[in-house]
Chain A
Amino acid sequence: MLKVKSMNINPNSLEIWSKELTKIYGKGEQKITAVDEINLFVKKGVHGFLGPNGAGKSSTINMLVGAISITNGQAKIKGNNAGSQDAKKFIGFLPQDPALYGRMTGEQYLQYFGRVSGFGKEKAIEKTKELLKQFNLTEAKNRKIKTYSRGMKQKIALASALIKEPHVLILDEPTSNLDPVGRAEIIKEIRALSKNICVFVSSHVLSEIEQMCDYITIINKGKIVLTNKIENIKETHSKANNVYILNTNSNKEALKLLENQEFIEKVWIDARGLNIHIIPSDTHTLKQKVPKILINNNILLEKFSQEEFTLEDIFLEMMNDNFRGI
């Protein structure tokens, strides 16, 4: 597990901070620890919060926004205790599968939440116009929300989270139940928003997190498994798993040539015969000699690189390790 370099960070300097944050549901034998002493250090930018279903993502988020009580530990939003009125002033929140007031029009809905946020009438109207335009909902502003498509509903919910001009935007599975077009639109909006504010986004769709986030925290069974910058995680993982990929116009022949080389620890071809996988015993020699061997044997080199890991590969490996109790 990778740990944050310094545990002595001033909580007030962070957008979101938590120390040993714990949520326990039920009592006695039916007690379930949904979130188990997690520490969060969230700075400006987009911070992904990953985990499988039931890992504790929504419970953590609901504690941060003050919807559920904190059993143990503490959490702060911009230095204010999570759940307090002061903390809520800084938060914009998009729940998972947000419920909306279907009988209101899009315009009424945004104006209402503008007023609930404390804005005067004129400011609420102005912000509503701005957000309807930003989310391409101006034409549908007078339609009742119950007639909106799922994507439009998600957009209006995101707009209502933004109407209070939050410093910290907390999004719980913002793209769940959306079609690919809807997902792309929401991701685009989130990326644009992250230039000005902190976005803390939970998801189990790893490709999206990879597109959106600078930092990620992976949670499983209520515990944090990993937290770091995505590029650091990938780099560390690639170094730890020193595998090279080779592709030629004649993989079978190339495999035979490489099998008995002393600088190679292990070499194999994948099931479909598309790539040769090499674990070197001497990386430097591998990089020097493999191209030469292939050229000398008149084999055309098409690809030779260190294997790149996607966030999904890393996540799945983490989950497997976690299941094995590592």
Chain B
Amino acid sequence: MTENTNTEQFELTNRGKSNPTIEIFKKTLFGDIGTLPRLIGGILVLLFIPIILAFSIDTNGLTTNSSIMEGTFFLVFYLIYMPTLLIIISLNSAPLISAEVNQGTMLTLVSYPISRRNIFLSKFFASLIFGLIIISSSLSIICISIYLRFPFQDIFLFYIINLLNWTLVLFIFQSVTIGISCLVSKPRNALFIPLMILMVFFLIFPFMKMFLLVSSDGNPPYEQFYLYWVDIHYHFVNLLYSMLKGVLNLSPDLLQHVMTMGIAKYSGSVPVETNYVHPIISFIIVLTMGLCILFSGFLYFKNRDIQN
């Protein structure tokens, strides 16, 4: 290369202070998904029913040693919070890559001196931070409301466990959503596929499980065909159950409601704890699944042709 070109290159690489990756991260977080109306809207939607539930807790007969896990509050909270959170994540994250590629703005962006890896990471982390803000804010408000209603002794631990659990759920589902957003060309498919996953694994399959766990010969199809390995909802509940059981140190009676969410089988009408998969294996399975889809999406995005 000529001396002149070297000088030009030196000037170009040393001319600025801003980091393009941070700039794209900021624009995605504050301009695309994390606008104030979206943030407030997301938090309010997540609060709506849990807050009503929190104020409807019957405090008669509760003592200072009572646990938040008593009663059906947690079961209803989980059933409302989980799908709502996943829908919010899908709505916000699904268009991040696919819409930019589809609309043509990505073509301009890739002509700037920033790698596709950094574009991908800035969008992924921006949506992750947005999700974390929503989760931590909504859980804080819910737990404060419950505490104002009745000072349960384990409310802080309950908050921490839920924060960990929903952060993990967020990370996995975010990985799936962003991965799919890279893999499909139409934004509507990028939204449709995660919502389908949500429908199938968190709604249809848990419903069908009621029938799959019933057997006259004691060998239900769910166990016979090892369906728990592909039951994503089972793995998430298995993890949550083990955390609640280990950290809150509750009696099995108080955890019955958690069991019924996905890891119990029934002996008559009594839920019995199952031990199909160790919680750590469940953790590895969901993490691997999320990271595989995320990495596939990244590889495809890195190498794909982007044009109008």
Interface: B5 (CB within 8 A): yes
Partner pick for A116 among B2, B5, B13, B24, CB 8 A cutoff: B24
Of all chain B residues, which has the CB nearest A13? Answer: B2
**Contacts A65-B111, A112-B23, A112-B27 given; does A117 touch B8 at CB 8 Å:** no
Name A63's closest neighbour in chain B (CB-CB): B305
Mark A102-142 against chain B: 1 for CB-CB distance below 8 A, else 0: 01100000001101111111011000000000000000000
Nearest-CB residue, chain A, relative to B6? A79
Q: Is A203 an interface residue (CB 8 A)?
A: no
Report B-chain residues with C-beta under 8 Å of the C-beta of A120.
Answer: 16-18
CB of B307 closer than 8 Å to a CB of A: yes
Minimum CB distance partner of A25 in chain B: B305
Q: Is A216 among interface residues, defined by CB-CB distance under 8 A?
A: no
> Among A93, A104, A121, A157, which residue has its beta carbon within 8 angstroms of that of B18?
A121
Cβ distance B12 to chain A, nearest Cβ, rounded Å: 5
Interface residues of A in 261-317 (CB under 8 A from B): none
Contact A117 B20 (CB under 8 A): yes
Contact A88 B112 (CB under 8 A): yes
State whether B18 touches A89 (Cβ < 8 A). no
Q: Is A52 part of the binding interface, using a Cβ–Cβ cutoff of 8 Å?
A: no
Q: B49 at interface (Cβ–Cβ under 8 A)?
A: no
Interface residues of B in 94-113 (CB under 8 A from A): 103-105, 107-113
Whether B2 lies near A164 (C-beta < 8 A) is no
Pick from A79, A97, A112, A115: contact of B104, CB under 8 Å: A97
Cβ A12 vs Cβ B110 within 8 A: no
Q: Does B31 contact A (CB under 8 A)?
A: yes
Whether A116 contacts B110 by the Cβ 8 Å rule is no
Q: A118 to B113, Cβ gap below 8 A?
A: yes
Does residue A66 face the partner (Cβ distance < 8 Å to B)?
yes
Contact with A along B161-200 (1 / 0, CB 8 A): 0000000000000000000000000000000000000000
Q: How far apart are the CA atoms of A65 and B109 in the complex, in Å?
A: 11
Residues of B near A88 (CB, < 8 A) are 111-113
Evaluate whether A89 and B13 lie within 8 angstroms (CB atoms) in the complex, with A58-B307, A167-B8 already known: yes
> Is B1's CB within 8 Å of the partner chain A?
yes
Determine how close the nearest CB of chain B comes to the CB of A94; give it in whole angstroms: 9
The answer to whether B23 touches A164 (Cβ under 8 A) is no
How far apart sit A115 and B27, CA to CA, in the bound complex (Å)?
11
Q: Given known contacts A97-B104, A99-B105, is B307 in contact with A115 (CB within 8 Å)? A: no
Find residues 142-182 in chain A having any chain B CB closer than 8 Å to their own CB. 157, 160, 164, 167
Check if A96 is an interface residue, CB within 8 A of chain B. yes
Total interface residues on B, using CB and 8 Å? Answer: 33
Complex: A284 Cα to B285 Cα, angstroms: 89
Which bucket holds chain A's interface residue count?
A: 35 or more
> Contacts A12-B5, A67-B107: A116 and B112 contacting too (C-beta < 8 A)?
yes
Q: B109 is contacted by which of A58, A116, A164, A167 (Cβ under 8 Å)?
A: A116
Residue A91 CB within 8 A of the other chain: yes
Q: How many A-B residue pairs have CB under 8 A?
A: 108
- Which chain A residue shows the least CB distance to B8? A167
Smallest CB separation, A123 vs chain B (Å): 7
**Contact of A67 with B306 at beta-carbon distance under 8 Å, contacts A118-B20, A124-B18, A164-B112 already known:** yes
Take A68-B305, A95-B104 as given contacts and tell me if A116 and B16 are in contact as well, using a CB distance cutoff of 8 Å: no
B303 touches A (CB below 8 Å): yes
Q: Are A89 and B104 in contact (CB under 8 A)?
A: no
Which residues of B have CB within 8 Å of A65? 110-111
Asked if B114 is an interface residue, CB under 8 A from chain A, the answer is yes
- Say yes or no for A78: interface residue by CB 8 A criterion: yes
A123 to B16, CA, bound (A): 8
Q: Report the Cα distance A245→B152, complex, angstroms.
A: 102
Q: Is the CB of A98 within 8 A of B112?
A: no
Q: Does any Cβ of B come within 8 Å of A100's Cβ?
A: yes
Which residue in chain A gives the minimum CB-CB distance to B27? A112
Residues of A within 8 A of B31 (CB): 101, 103-104
Contact code string B1-45 (vs A, CB < 8 Å = 1, else 0): 110010011001101111010011001000100000000000000
Kindly state whether residue A69 has any CB partner on chain B within 8 Å: yes
Chain B residues with CB under 8 Å of A66's CB are: 110-111
The yes or no answer to B115 lying at the interface (CB within 8 A) is: yes
Whether the pair B108, A160 counts as a contact (CB closer than 8 A) is yes
* B216 interfacial by beta-carbon distance below 8 Å: no
B308 interface residue (CB < 8 Å to A): yes
Residue of B nearest to A87 (CB): B113
- A95 CB contact (under 8 Å) in B15, B18, B308: B308
**Chain B positions within 8 Å of A39 at CB level:** none
> A62 near B: Cβ within 8 Å?
yes
5 tightest A-B CB contacts, nearest first: A99-B104, A120-B17, A118-B16, A68-B305, A93-B111
Q: 15 pairs across A/B with beta carbons < 8 Å?
A: A62-B307, A67-B107, A78-B5, A85-B113, A88-B112, A90-B12, A95-B107, A96-B308, A99-B103, A103-B31, A116-B18, A120-B18, A123-B16, A124-B18, A167-B8
**Residues of chain B having any CB pair with chain A under 8 Å:** 1-2, 5, 8-9, 12-13, 15-18, 20, 23-24, 27, 31, 103-105, 107-115, 303, 305-308
Q: Show the binding face of A for B, using Cβ within 8 Å.
A: 12-13, 25, 58-59, 62, 65-69, 78-79, 85-86, 88-91, 93, 95-101, 103-104, 112-113, 115-121, 123-124, 157, 160, 164, 167
Told that A96-B308, A121-B18, A164-B112 touch, could you supply 11 new A-B pairs with CB distance under 8 A?
A12-B1, A12-B2, A25-B305, A67-B305, A115-B18, A116-B20, A116-B109, A117-B112, A117-B113, A118-B113, A157-B108
